[in-house]
Amino acid sequence: MTTSEADLAQSGSMQRKLSATVLVVLTVAVVGLGLWLAWSPQAGQVQGIVDAREYRVASKVTGRLAQVLVAEGDTVKAGQLLARIDSPEVSAKEAQANAAVDAAQSQADKAETGARRTDISAAEAQWRRASAASDLARVTFERVNRLANEGVVAGQKRDEARTNMIAAQQAERAARSQYDAALSGVRVEDRRAAAAQAAQARGAAAEVAAARSETQIIAPAKGEVGRRLAQPGEIVSAGYPVMLLTEVQAPWVTVTLREDQLQGVKVGSQLTGNIPALGVQSATFKVSFIAPAGDYATWRATRQSEGFDVKGFEVRLVPVKPIAGLRPGMSVLFAWPQ
């Protein structure tokens, strides 16, 4: 072998060794990169759903739905009249309650005013007549008693005169009591009882008035009218929803996070999310609520041979600034470490 051939053979052997070394280094680098990627946290995606408070607008009385004043999709204000209920039963009870109030109040006024002047005059006349009769009976007894002592009349006549005198005196006392009662008016206890009956009647009337006000269905909050559940002319029971009302102006986003995703998340934290339905790429939300307890568990392997149940926690976020067009049911995507 010549010198040039030996050099070429040596050079080829060195190149093969260098290639093998480079291959080994690349293999180690790829394996190391794979291990690092496998064990390092990766950015994932958490999907949230937009939600809003929903009211089932209903009446507290049973009746026929007479009129609906709003249509589906209308925006209403709190306190706005939405519908009317026709309830003949409420009208009948209202008439009865008003009549009972008038009767009870008349009795209370009578007890408070006392006896009329004519009644007082009549009681006085009865007393004076009884008083005159008592005086006559007394004088008669004195005369008969004197004659009986002289032996002119029998003792029985004296006894009869005494009895008549006593009866006349008792009649005078009774008439005077009636006259005094007319002067003083009704007793305090009777006035209190009459006033209590009037108050009870007014309370029953107030209850009926409250039922009457419930025949008008009022919006409990500002929002958007959703699906109508009853039509005019239908009978609706007490508590049966007539329509749905959603507070679309105050939405929030609900996400469920695993317990290993809660690190650094607290009430007041701000997160950025994407809203595919609106084409919004960077909307800012603030955490307003974190569930105090996990709702369910998902088994997740933390090592090759073992794992544990990972709890899920409900988290609510509200937009930092109003987002035009954001409606319940839309999805909001958040980047999150896996």
For the record, the structure tokens of 275 come out as 């809203």
Closest alpha carbon to 158 in 172, 145, 146, 175: 145
CATH topology of domain 41-53+248-337: Elongation Factor Tu (Ef-tu); domain 3 (2.40.30)
User: Does residue 5 carry a pLDDT above 60?
Assistant: no
- DSSP lists the bridge partners of residue 81 as 218
pLDDT band at 120 (very low <50, low <70, confident <90, very high): low
Burial of 159 (0-12, 13-18, 19+ CB in 10 A): middle
Q: Which residues contact 194 (CB under 8 A, 6 or more apart)?
A: 104, 107, 108, 110, 111, 112, 186
Task: Give yes or no for a contact between 258 and 299, defined as CB atoms under 8 angstroms apart.
Answer: no
Q: Give the amino acid at 65.
A: L
Task: Return the CATH fold of 54-86+214-245.
Answer: OB fold (Dihydrolipoamide Acetyltransferase, E2P) (2.40.50)
Q: What is the pLDDT of residue 42?
A: 46
The 3 state secondary structure assigned to the chain is CCHHHHHHHHHHHHHHHHHHHHHHHHHHHHHHHHHHHHHCCCEEEEEEEEECCEEEEECCCCEEEEEECCCCCCEECCCCEEEEEECHHHHHHHHHHHHHHHHHHHHHHHHHHCCCHHHHHHHHHHHHHHHHHHHHHHHHHHHHHHHHHCCCCCHHHHHHHHHHHHHHHHHHHHHHHHHHHHHHCCCHHHHHHHHHHHHHHHHHHHHHHHHHHCCEEECCCCEEEEEECCCCCCEECCCCEEEEEECCCCCEEEEEEEHHHCCCCCCCCEEEEEECCCCEEEEEEEEEEECCCCCEEEEEECCCCCEEEEEEEEEEEEECCCCCCCCCCCEEEEEEEC
What is the per-residue pLDDT across 127-165, written as a single tens digit (0 to 9) for each?
778 787 778 778 787 787 787 777 777 777 777 778 888
End-to-end CA distance of the chain: 64
pLDDT in tens, 60-76: 888 888 888 999 889 99
**Whole-number Cα distances in Å, 230 to 75, 173, 205, 236:** 19, 74, 30, 8
Percentage above 90 pLDDT, the chain = 12
| Average confidence (pLDDT) over 227-247 | 88
pLDDT at 318: 92
295-324 confidence digits (pLDDT tens): 765 545 444 445 556 778 889 999 999 888
Report how far residue 82's alpha carbon sits from residue 75's, in angstroms, rounded to the nearest whole number: 11
- Tokens 């005059």, residue located: 121
* Token output for 15: 């190149």
Check residues 46 and 337 and name the one with the higher pLDDT: 46
Of 275, 297, 263, 327, the C-alpha closest to 47 is 275
Letter string b/e over residues 328-338, b meaning 16 or more CB atoms within 10 A of that residue's CB:
bebebebebee
Which residues have C-beta within 8 Å of that of residue 202, sequence separation ≥ 6? 101, 104
Tell me which of 290 and 20 has the higher pLDDT: 290
pLDDT score recorded for residue 39: 47
Sorted by where each begins, the domain ranges of the chain are 41-53+248-337, 54-86+214-245, 93-210
